[in-house]
Amino acid sequence: MKKETCRFQYLICFSVLLICLGLMSCQEGLQEDHSDLQGKDSIASDNSSQIIENQYIVVYKEDQLSFRLDPNDYETGHEILRKETSDLLSRYGVEEEQFHQLYSFGFQGFAIKLSEQKKNELLSDSRVKKIIPDRKRFLNVQQGKSPVRVDPAVEIENTQIIPWGVKRVGGPFEYKGTRKVWVIDTGIDINHPDLNVDHRHGFDAYNHRRDWNFDDEHGHGTHVAGTIGALDNHFGVVGVVAGVPVVPIKVFTGSRAEATDSGILAGVEYVGRMARPGDVANLSFGWDDKSDPFPLLEEAVLRISEQRKIWMVIASGNSRLPGNTFTPARVDGRYTITVSATDNADRLAWFSHYGHPIKFGAPGVNVFSTWMAGAYRNSSGTSMSAPHVAGLRIFGSIETDGYMKNYPIEYLDPIAFRSKGFEGMGHIRP
């Protein structure tokens, strides 16, 4: 009897906690007082990039190279380009130890440390198109309320929550296919009990392969991963595509979520190399195209997505600006999908970008999902919208369910959706 009483008291306490969380989420989502800023994901709109001294990205003139790369034969092409690069560096007396990234898919080039003199010598070579400074960038996410922890060992009742955003796009869906979602972000909590993390195919842009660390030191990537594919079990949350493998592509590192241009490009390159046609990559980051342009990233995203038929789902940005003002969100390709944010009343979120080339709107206010260290957290931003669409896209074509309200221009974003009963493999082509 005493055991039953304890169990009953536990259920009451946990139910009250869930109700309180639900009320907070509903109240914050319905009010237009911007109170959700506490957990808003600010896509680097107010934190300018910084030039890294003596570190550069060298871009080849493709028509001056003695070979043509086949996008379907990465290994051969990569090795040919490596030999070409070794020859170039040897000719100008540059030590190969200074060279640390090679790019062959999005563009042909490499990242390297150089003195000013050696930079000018390389620039004089007929094969070199340009040499641009490498930069440090920041994800710049403002933290929200304290994370919530759930004990998966307590199986007295099903305490799993279906987040409002997952419901709004038609989910959750069960997935039994072979595709993956590649999360280009801060890494993923590889031991989170609510995620199916494919760390075997993961990537770390900043360490030697033997020292690769895919674990999330910030939380952003784990939150994105949970919205995409948190497991359908008895605790925590469930994602749009429950249990789909999420692959950590770690290009932002540390608690401040710092990145370099060369590292971000390496992550996108790696996805182009490893992902299969029909796979999806989520890019929940971006910068102002005027103050922090990143044309090489735009070129890489467009070329890799189209050559490899990999879907690139991109957060539009959180500065309430037109959709074509942020990079890489401004990329408009056959296999790119830029996403704006809605609240739980289908209104354009007060922070969201809008207009061309945005293709869908999806929930992005007070989104409850997984967090690092096995926890869960509410967060807001177009970073939270994109993974809803990334999850839907794994099945193929995306349906819509109405249009966003309170839009500042005539161009309206359709709200991404998928009907139940269409959990098949879908299509590769749009």
284 is a catalytic site residue: no
Backbone angles phi, psi at 38, to 5 degrees: -55, -30
From 220, 223, 353, 388, active-site residue? 220
User: Cα separation of 27 and 19, whole Å?
Assistant: 12
3-class secondary structure for 47-89? CCCEEEEEEEEEEECHHHCCCCCCCCCHHHHHHHHHHHHHHHH
383 is a catalytic site residue: yes
Contact 125, 85 (CB under 8 A): no
Coil/strand/helix, residue 225: helix
Task: Give 231's Cβ-side CA count (13 Å radius).
Answer: 12
b (16+ CB within 10 A) / e for 54-68? ebbbbbbeeeeeeee
User: Cα separation of 230 and 415, whole Å?
Assistant: 22
DSSP run (H or E) holding 327: strand 326-327
From 284, 319, 383, 385, active-site residue? 383
From 36, 41, 134, 185, active-site residue? 185
Count Cβ atoms within 10 A of the Cβ of residue 45 and give its class: 0-12 exposed, 13-18 middle, 19 or more buried. Answer: buried
Contact 147, 376 (CB under 8 A): yes
Count Cβ atoms within 10 A of the Cβ of residue 256 and give its class: 0-12 exposed, 13-18 middle, 19 or more buried. Answer: middle
* DSSP per-residue string spanning 111-133: EEE--HHHHHHHHTSTTEEEEEE
220 is a catalytic site residue: yes
Would you name the residues annotated as active-site residues?
Answer: 185, 220, 383
